[in-house]
A = this chain, B = another copy of it.
Amino acid sequence: MKPLDEVTRQASEWLRGVGPLSDIVISSRIRLARNVRGYVFLSRADADTRTELAELLQAAIRRSRDLEGLVHLDLERLDDLDRAVLVERHLISRQHAEGSGARRVAFDGNEVAALMINEEDHLRVQVMRSGLQLDQAWEQISSIDDALQENLEFAFHPKYGYLTACPTNVGTGIRVSVMLHLPALRLTNELEKVFQAAKEMRLAIRGFHGEGTEALGDLFQISNQVTLGRTEIEIIEDFRDAIIPRIVEYERAARTSLLKNRLHALDDKIWRALGTLQNARLISSSEAMQYLSHLRMGVHTGRLKNIELQTLNELFLQTQPAHLQKLQGERLTGEQRSYVRASLIRARLSRN
């Protein structure tokens, strides 16, 4: 897998640490769920139908306006390590990686747009950008959706909207997810309060790797749960103008409060993280993410100089198990990974 070897070395677009509110908003993602009219949902599709769908969708993507240059990968022909790299880069879901039968993915070189074929729905399109860039993401994904509809007819019901495998996606088929870095709210024990408010607004809160995963490195994905009865624009405006600014405000207030009232405790977290990362000889991926999170907070609160955000963002990805093994060029046991991970981090954060 030549392209993947190359891909592994760079940070994804969504991890570039740029864009509006990027001190707190890591990335903005919009995903659309689509199914091809005239085909059964995947839960009822046999192997031949899956294959037919995969080929039909891949061909349609290839000839769609602005989608000509995508990287196309056949998940059945990738080994588990390569599929795990794609999951760690958020180009495919864990479910897509671990599934069976014909399934593919296509994405552009910057990894902004990705199209999963035969995941839960026939097609899932996502656009993911750094910082709070929901309008730009929406514009781009709409354009992709329009281009695809020039070559494909999607299952659509005049009353219910887009039909999807899971009823929670019926309607617009849209899911908006914003990944937030909330280390100060964690330190001040205010996360629960924020999450409670989010739940009341019928938002879902997930960890770094999406559904059912832990909040590694103080990273949280906030996403809508309701797709029916609201327009895409309403959902996006709600995120852009109300939900995200409010949580960002909470996190900012927590950071200000730490700087003003608990500076030693804040510095202690930041510098212990640096000291540990610069010295550990064995480190797990979740521990590394936690300490990288504290360094990121250190950079954004102005307490930590001489550390590039770019370095931290790259390490966030490269210390993940599959990335680490790709970088090392061999399969590693858990203990070997801990050792290689610690060495990589020390080299990147060395004092010179």
Using CB atoms and an 8 Å cutoff, list the residues of chain A in contact with chain B.
Answer: 264-265, 267-268, 271-272, 274-283, 335, 338-339, 342
How far, in Å, is A140 (CB) from chain B's closest CB? 43
Chain A contact residues: helix, strand, loop or mixed: helix
B264 contacts A271, CB within 8 Å? no
Which one of B267, B278, B338, B339 lies within 8 Å of A275 (CB-CB)? Answer: B278
- On chain B, the residues within 8 Å of A268 by CB distance are 280-283, 342
- On chain B, the residues within 8 Å of A265 by CB distance are 281-282
B267 contacts A271, CB within 8 Å? no
Please measure, in the bound complex, the distance between the C-alpha atom of A276 and the C-alpha atom of B280, giving whole angstroms. 10
Please measure, in the bound complex, the distance between the C-alpha atom of A342 and the C-alpha atom of B272, giving whole angstroms. 11
Copies, count:
2
- On chain B, the residues within 8 Å of A275 by CB distance are 274-280
- On chain B, the residues within 8 Å of A274 by CB distance are 275, 279
Please measure, in the bound complex, the distance between the C-alpha atom of A280 and the C-alpha atom of B275, giving whole angstroms. 8
Q: A264-B339, A339-B264 are in contact. Are A281 and B271 (CB under 8 A)?
A: yes
In the A-B complex, the 3 residue pairs with the smallest Cβ-Cβ separation, listed nearest first, are A275-B279, A275-B275, A268-B281
A272 contacts B279, CB within 8 Å? yes
B272 contacts A276, CB within 8 Å? yes
- On chain B, the residues within 8 Å of A281 by CB distance are 264-265, 267-268, 271-272
9 A–B contacts from the bound complex (CB under 8 Å): A264-B338, A264-B339, A268-B280, A268-B282, A272-B280, A272-B281, A275-B276, A275-B278, A276-B276
Q: Which residue on B lies nearest to A343, using beta carbons?
A: B264
Please measure, in the bound complex, the distance between the C-alpha atom of A272 and the C-alpha atom of B277, giving whole angstroms. 8
Please measure, in the bound complex, the distance between the C-alpha atom of A349 and the C-alpha atom of B214, giving whole angstroms. 36
- On chain B, the residues within 8 Å of A276 by CB distance are 272, 275-276, 279
Q: Which residue on B lies nearest to A338, using beta carbons?
A: B264
- On chain B, the residues within 8 Å of A277 by CB distance are 275
Best-buried of A268, A272, A283 by chain B (most CB within 10 Å): A272
Please measure, in the bound complex, the distance between the C-alpha atom of A277 and the C-alpha atom of B274, giving whole angstroms. 12
Please measure, in the bound complex, the distance between the C-alpha atom of A281 and the C-alpha atom of B274, giving whole angstroms. 12
Please measure, in the bound complex, the distance between the C-alpha atom of A339 and the C-alpha atom of B278, giving whole angstroms. 22
Please measure, in the bound complex, the distance between the C-alpha atom of A265 and the C-alpha atom of B339, giving whole angstroms. 9
Q: Which residue on B lies nearest to A263, using beta carbons?
A: B281
How far, in Å, is A303 (CB) from chain B's closest CB? 10
Please measure, in the bound complex, the distance between the C-alpha atom of A268 and the C-alpha atom of B342, giving whole angstroms. 9
Please measure, in the bound complex, the distance between the C-alpha atom of A264 and the C-alpha atom of B335, giving whole angstroms. 10
Please measure, in the bound complex, the distance between the C-alpha atom of A202 and the C-alpha atom of B281, giving whole angstroms. 40
Please measure, in the bound complex, the distance between the C-alpha atom of A271 and the C-alpha atom of B281, giving whole angstroms. 7
Please measure, in the bound complex, the distance between the C-alpha atom of A277 and the C-alpha atom of B279, giving whole angstroms. 11
Please measure, in the bound complex, the distance between the C-alpha atom of A281 and the C-alpha atom of B276, giving whole angstroms. 13
Best-buried of A268, A277, A279, A335 by chain B (most CB within 10 Å): A279
Please measure, in the bound complex, the distance between the C-alpha atom of A284 and the C-alpha atom of B339, giving whole angstroms. 29
Please measure, in the bound complex, the distance between the C-alpha atom of A274 and the C-alpha atom of B280, giving whole angstroms. 10
- On chain B, the residues within 8 Å of A338 by CB distance are 264
Please measure, in the bound complex, the distance between the C-alpha atom of A210 and the C-alpha atom of B281, giving whole angstroms. 34
Additional pairs, 17, CB under 8 Å, beyond known A264-B335, A268-B281, A271-B281: A264-B281, A264-B338, A265-B281, A265-B282, A268-B282, A268-B342, A271-B280, A272-B279, A272-B280, A272-B281, A274-B275, A274-B279, A275-B276, A275-B277, A275-B279, A275-B280, A276-B279
